[in-house]
Structure 1
Amino acid sequence: MEIQGCVALVTGGNRGIGEGFVDELLAQGAAKIYVAARKLADGEAAAARDARLVPIALDVTDEGQVAAAAELAGDVNLLVNNAGAFSMQTLLGAPSLAALRAEIETNYIGLVSMVRAFAPVLKANGGGCVVNVLSAGAIVSVPGMGGYSPSKFAARAASDALRAELAPQGTHVAALIVGSVDTRMAAHVTHVKKSSPQDIGKAGLLAARHSINEHDTDAHAISVRAHLARDPGGLAAAMAQAVQGGK
């Protein structure tokens, strides 16, 4: 996957990790980048800084908008599934199932919906690559993350299945395991050093360029995977203690 000269679409591209991807795509010479945001005004504001940025209104949970985006952005050869939802509620502590449904709809079903819609586009443009922005919560169940962690587990499994299905058309699927990043979504995290959104964008484009299946993007993600390999029982106990009010 060549980044220079590529045409990319980044969901949730107006802020956070999505904006980090946009920054890195610009720096590495992408020809055009569709900046997708739920509100067109947010996309327009984010796209105003460079002529290569094209704003697009896109809610990944709306199949009609997803289909319209695939029709509009028919020149895409790099799809970055970054849009995400995180309610900061536990599975039993949430007042209803609404937050869980939103997380599953956005983080898992929305991701699959985007790949289904853009698979023919990617094929027509030579194969290209899909980059799925996941989480360390996709390899370790984090009770405090409620439906977010299970949704990312599902998205990780979907990434493996989609990679197998898309391989015959020359489309690679890269899954990113992301730790703590300096974004609004992670504002509550204070106990670990956070990476910048641009660092995650750079790691994601590296995974696309070198056809890496699953890539730990930052020091925190690497440490979580190492802890899981070294002491899975201890990590599970620590997660349980944390949700029960301990450190």
Structure 2
Amino acid sequence: MKIKDAVVFVTGANRGLGLEFAKQALERGAWKVYAGARDPASVTLPGVVPVKLDVTDPASVAAVADAARDVTLLINNAGIARVGSLTDDGALDALRDHFETNVVGMLAMSQALAGSLASNGGGAILNVLSVGSWVNRPILSAYGVSKSAAWALTNGLRQSLREQHTQVVGLHAGFIDTELVRGFEVPKATPADVVRQAYEAIEAGAEEVSTDEVTRNVKAALSTGIYLKDAAQR
């Protein structure tokens, strides 16, 4: 599908990667851009339609589905990432929190808008995933588990929605220069470059896109496990 003249809904659109998704959608000629955020007043980008949204609240998701029946592209960007190992105190609660937003919230939005996508020709869903879908390290363990599940969810949605001609795209990336990882002293991609590649993948009809060399190398090594073993030991 083309971004030009699309009706785009971006979750978590008030800052970081979500804000960049909304911005570039407008620049690419989207007809309308819904910007979902828990506090719609925090959405300050001119030209978008601010929408109150908490992906973990069923009533909020249902209200969005009713308000955005013209949507043709859903960007499931909303997510959380908290530092911690699976052996830390509180790891169970952290895992539940990550799953509620990063997995259950993603499915809730996809289910809620799937009917509208079908009515509007099929459209597309893009799920923001991570290199953490494939490599899990103690610093972000619960996040990694949730992104692994979100990858499986993305693959499942692709099969479930294929008959209605909805393109489902998984976006994998390493560290991106947003508030989510502000305290990490590591190489980071720019949100602008990640979003550019994401929209190019959608327009090319792709089902998956890896936006940096590390992520592409990890994906390529899945069949051998060599890179994954090395990364897990670092």
Pick the TM interval, shorter chain: over 0.9
The amino acid of 2:29's aligned partner reads G
Q: Do the aligned partners of residues 142 and 72 (structure 1) sit closer, same or farther apart at CA in structure 2, a change above 3 Å counting? A: same
TM-score of the two chains, using structure 1 as the length reference: 0.89
Q: Are the equivalent residues in 1 in contact too, given 2:218–2:227 (CA < 8 A)? A: no
**Corresponding position: 1:221 with 2:204:** no
Q: Are the equivalent residues in 2 in contact too, given 1:8–1:79 (CA < 8 A)? A: yes
The amino acid of 1:174's aligned partner reads V
- Summarize the alignment of residues 1-247 of structure 1 with structure 2, pairs less than 5 Å apart: 1-43=1-43, 46-47=44-45, 49-50=46-47, 53-192=48-187, 194-226=188-220, 228-229=221-222, 232-233=225-226, 235-240=228-233, 242=234
RMSD value, Cα: 1.7
- Please give the per-residue CA displacement for 1:189-235, whole angstroms capped at 9, x wherever unaligned: 3232x111111111111121122111102234224335x35963454
The amino acid of 1:75's aligned partner reads D
Q: Are the equivalent residues in 1 in contact too, given 2:130–2:172 (CA < 8 A)? A: yes
TM-score of the two chains, using structure 2 as the length reference: 0.94
Could you tell me which runs of 5 or more consecutive residues in structure 2 were left unpaired when the two chains were aligned. none
Shift of 1:96: 4.9
Q: Are the equivalent residues in 2 in contact too, given 1:108–1:155 (CA < 8 A)? A: yes
Q: Do the aligned partners of residues 82 and 146 (structure 1) sit closer, same or farther apart at CA in structure 2, a change above 3 Å counting? A: same
Task: Give distance in 2, aligned partners of 1:127 and 1:235.
Answer: 36
Aligned residue pair count:
234
Percent identity among equivalent residues? 38
Q: Do the aligned partners of residues 190 and 130 (structure 1) sit closer, same or farther apart at CA in structure 2, a change above 3 Å counting? A: same
Shift of 1:41: 1.6
Could you tell me which runs of 5 or more consecutive residues in structure 1 were left unpaired when the two chains were aligned. 243-247
Task: Give distance in 1, aligned partners of 2:8 and 2:103.
Answer: 20
